A and B are shown apart, each in its own frame.
Chain A
Amino acid sequence: MALTTAQTGLSRARRGVAPGGAGRPANRKSKLTAQTSRTFFWLLLPSVILLVLIHGYPLIEAGVQATHDGSLIEAGNFVGGENFATVLSSPAFWKAAQFTLLFTIVGVFGSWLVGLGLALLLRTKIPAGGTFKVLLLLPWVVPIVVSSTAWNWLVATPDSLIPSLFRNLGLGTPLFLADPSLAALTVMVFKVWVSFPFMMMMISAALASVDSTVYEAASMDGATRFQQFSQITLPLIARSTYISWILMTIFCVNDFPTIYLLTGGGPVDATTSLVVLAYRTVFQDFATGPGVAIAFLMTMTLVVVSVLLYRQIRKSSVE
C-alpha cells in the first residue's frame, strides 16, 4: 500500500502534479520536480559511488587485464582481442562451457522441480511441519565447505557409505568422484541438493499470496487437480518462477565452491566449469589475460540470459 502511494506520488511528481489536485500553476510544478530530483540525487549518490567503486572499477580493471598480456601486478602490453581468441579456440573452454550449460540446466530446473514439489507439499498440513521445514532448509543454511566435506565422506572412497550400500545391494562399487561421468552427475545432484531450499522458499512465498478461493471456484467449475495446477498455480507463480530462474542461473554459472570443493574440476576436467577454468587459468597457470577473458565472456553471457529472462517477467501478465 505504501509502495502504491509512493508510486502514485512519484507518478504525480513526474507529471508535475501536486498531491492536492490535478490543476496547479506551472511554476509550482517545476519547483516540485526540481526539488524531488535533487532529493533523489542526493539519496542515490552514496549507492552510486559504492556501486562504481565496488563493481565499476574491477570491471574496468578486468577489461584492461583481458586485453593485456601481463600479470596481476602489471597489466603488460595491449594485445587487443588475442586473449579472447586464445580462449575461444581452446577445446578446454568449450568443454567447460558445455559442462557449465549442463550444470546450470540441471541446477536450475532440478532445484526448481524439487523446490516446487516440496513447497506444494508444505501447503498441506503434515505432522511436525515446522521441524520438517527447518530440516529442509538445512542444505541452504549449512556452509558449503561443511556440505562438500559431508558429501565427500558419503561418496569418495569405495568404503564410503553410499558405495558400500550399492555393494551390499549387489550393484557393484560405483566410484562417484573418480569416474568422469559419475563425478559430473554427483556434482549436479549436489548442486540441486544445496539449492532446492532456496527455490522452495521462493515458491512458498509466491504460493502464500494466492487466494485459496480461486481454487474453490475452479473446483466448483469442475477443474481437475492437474488443471488447477497448470492453469492456476503455475501462472500465478510465474513471476516468482522467472525471478528464481534468473537468480539460480547466475548462482549456477558463478558457482565455484560447490564444484571446486567436491572435485576440484576433475577427474580429467570432467567437472570443470567456466568459473573453475577461469580460476585455474589465472591462479594455477598464472595466465591472467586469458583467465580474465573467460570471466568476461561468462559475464556477458549471464547479462544476455538475465535480460531474456527478465523480459519474460515483464511479459507475464499475472499480477
Chain B
Amino acid sequence: MSANSSSAFSRRGFLGFAAAAASAPLLAACGGGSASQGGGGGGNGVIKFWDMPWATPAYNDAAKKIVEGYSPASGNLKASYQTIQWNNFYQTFSSAIASKTGPAVSTGGGFQAFQFEKQGQIAYADKVIDELKKNGQFDDFLPGVLEPFKSDKGYVAVPWQLDMRVFWYRKSLFEQAGVDVPKDWASLLEAGKALKKVGAFGFATGSGAGNNIGNHSMIMMMVNNGGGVFTKDGELDVMNDRNVEAIEFLLELVSNGIVDPASVSYTTENLNAMWKNKKAAFGPYVLGVPERVGDTSGDIVVASPIAGPHGDKGGLVFPNNIMMYTNTPSQASSEAFLVSYMGQLKELWRQKLMNALPVFKSITEIPEFASDPNNVKIVKEWQPIAKTFASQGTVLNDNLAVLDGGQALNQFTQTVLTGKTDARSALQAFESGLKSVIKK
C-alpha cells in the first residue's frame, strides 16, 4: 500500500513537472491569454475544457468561440478551451489526470467517462441533469439517449451528439443493376449478386489501418438480427444464435464476392474512394457520406433499416458525451459551464459543422439540419431503433472501450472479411479474446 502511494506520488509529481515544462513554450507561443491555464482542472480559477477535433478545424473554432463567450454567473469561474488530438488521446488524458493537470470538463472517446469513472476520476453529472430538467432541455433529449449514462452512482456523463452507423446506397448502381434497394437480408444477398455483375459491391466496408467501420459492421449486423455481444445484464454473450446467424450471413456475402476481398485492408480513405468511384453500392457508414467523399450529385443516400430473418431491425449508435472530472477548481463552476455549453450546442449544427446527430429534438428541427433529407431520414428511421455497443443491454460501461477498437474485435472482423473461417469458430475466438481483456 505504501509502495503504491509512494509510486503514485512520484509519478504524479514527475508528470506534473514534465507537463508544466512541456507546456511552457507552448503557452508562451499562445500568448498571454493562455497563461492563465495550468494546474488541476484549471489552475488560477479557470474551468479547463478539453475538446476533440470532432470535425473540420472550423468546428474547433466555433466550439472555442462558444467557450470563450461563456459568461459565468457571479461566483462561478470562466472557462478555457483546448483541442486535444485523437492520436494517443487516452494516454494524453491519463497522463494529465495522473499529474493533476487534466481538464475539469471534456469531450473524449465514447466510453472514456466509464473508464475514468472506474478509477475514481469522474464527477457525476446529476446536478447538471437537474438543471437540464429545470431549463427544459431534459425533455428535449431524443428518446433513449440519456439512459445509457445512468449508473448506480449517478450520471457518468451527458450526451451531446450521436455518432450513427446507418446503411447508405448509390441509386445509380442499383438502377444499373436493375434491382431494388434491399429491405431485408434476403434481398440484400440478391441485390449484391446483381450488383457484382455491374462491378459494384453490395456490402462496402473496411478494416484496414485506423478504420473501424469493419468492426462496426460486424456488431451492426448482430444488432440488426436482435443479437449483440452482451446480455441485458451486461454479461458477455458472444455465442448466441442470432450472432451466429449474422456472421453466417456475412460469410455468405463474402463467399459470393458481395464484400470486396480487399476490404479487409481498406483504410477510411480507401473506403471513401470506393464510394466516390462507384464501386460501393450499399454498406454501413457514418453520417454525411456524400460530403465525406465529395459527391454532391445526390446519388448517395441513406437507406431505410433492413430487416433480419426474424424481422428484427437495428442500427448502431455511439452516444458521444461530455464528462466532468473530480479534479476541478470548483465543481459548481464545472456544472454551470456544462449546463451553459449544452445550451449552446445548437450553434454547431446551425453552422453545419457536425457530422453527427444532435441529441436534442429541437436541433433536429432547425432548417440547417432538417434541409438535408438524409438527416431527416436518420432521425426518423434509424435513431429510434439504434442500439449501442452494450446491446443486447442498454447501460454503457468501461468494458465497451475494450470492445470498440480492441484487438479481439479487429481480429474477428478481419477473419470474417477474409472468409477463411466459419461463424462459430470466428465467434469462439472473438469470445476468448474478449474474455482475456475484459475486467470483471
A interface list, Cβ under 8 A from B: 57, 61, 64, 71-78, 92, 149, 152, 156-159, 175, 177-178, 180, 183, 260-264, 266-269, 280-281, 283-287
Contact = CB atoms under 8 A, between A and B. Distances in A.
B98 A72 contact: yes
The 7 closest A-B pairs by CB, nearest first: A264-B209, A177-B265, A72-B94, A285-B437, A178-B265, A178-B262, A267-B264
Contact of A175 (B265, B269, B408, B410): B265
Given A283-B88, A285-B402, A261 B209 contact: yes
B72 to A, nearest CB: 29
Nearest to A269: B411
Given A152-B270, A156-B262, A266 B437 contact: no
User: Of residues A73, A74, A280, which shows the largest number of chain B Cβ atoms within 10 Å of its Cβ?
Assistant: A73
A98 B90 CA distance: 29
A266 B214 CA distance: 13
Interface in B279-313: 279
B119 A284 contact: no
Given A73-B119, A262-B209, A264-B209, A158 B262 contact: yes
Contact of B98 (A74, A178, A281): A74
Contacts of B82: none
Q: How large is the interface on B (under 10, 10 to 19, 20 to 34, 35 or more residues)?
A: 35 or more
Given A64-B7, A285-B402, A285-B407, A73 B94 contact: yes
9 contacts: A57-B14, A263-B209, A266-B209, A266-B264, A267-B418, A280-B407, A283-B88, A284-B405, A284-B407
A71 B94 contact: yes
A286 B434 CA distance: 12
A72 B263 CA distance: 34
A177 B266 CA distance: 8
A12 to B, nearest CB: 41
Contacts, number: 118
A283 B270 contact: no
A283 B121 CA distance: 18
B45 interface: no
A73 B262 contact: no
Given A152-B270, A177-B262, A263-B209, A78 B3 contact: yes
B328 interface: no
Contacts of A285: 402, 406-408, 437
A156 B3 contact: no
B50 to A, nearest CB: 16
A276 B414 CA distance: 17
B262 A175 contact: yes
Interface of A is mostly: loop
B56 interface: no
Contacts of A152: 267, 269-270
A75 B6 CA distance: 11
B270 A156 contact: yes
A264 B207 CA distance: 9
A266 B262 contact: no
A71 B411 CA distance: 24
A261 B210 CA distance: 8
B91 A263 contact: no
B55 interface: no
B27 interface: no
B95 A263 contact: no
B377 to A, nearest CB: 29
B211 to A, nearest CB: 8
Interface of B: 3-4, 7-8, 11, 14, 88, 90-91, 94-95, 97-98, 115-116, 119, 121, 207-211, 260-267, 269-270, 273-274, 277, 279, 401-402, 405-408, 410-411, 414-415, 417-418, 437
A281 B116 CA distance: 18
A183 B418 CA distance: 13
A147 B156 CA distance: 42
A284 B209 contact: no
A264 B262 contact: no
A119 B407 CA distance: 42
A279 to B, nearest CB: 9
Contacts of B4: 74-78
B203 to A, nearest CB: 15
Given A266-B209, A284-B406, 11 more contacts: A72-B90, A72-B94, A73-B97, A157-B274, A267-B417, A268-B415, A269-B407, A283-B88, A283-B90, A285-B407, A286-B115
Contact of B407 (A64, A156, A281): A281
A157 B406 contact: no
Contacts of A180: 418
Contacts of A286: 90, 115, 401-402, 437
Contacts of B437: 285-287
A304 to B, nearest CB: 28
A174 to B, nearest CB: 10
Contacts of B119: 71, 73-74
Contacts of B88: 283
A147 to B, nearest CB: 14
Contacts of B94: 71-73
Contacts of B273: 157
Contacts of A61: 11, 14
Contacts of A281: 407
Contacts of B414: 266-268
A84 to B, nearest CB: 16
B407 A264 contact: no
Contact of B266 (A64, A75, A156, A183): A156
B208 A266 contact: yes
Contact of B7 (A75, A178, A260): A75
A264 B98 CA distance: 29
Contacts of A149: 269
Contacts of A267: 207, 264-265, 414, 417-418
B398 to A, nearest CB: 8
A268 B210 contact: no
B425 to A, nearest CB: 13
A232 to B, nearest CB: 45
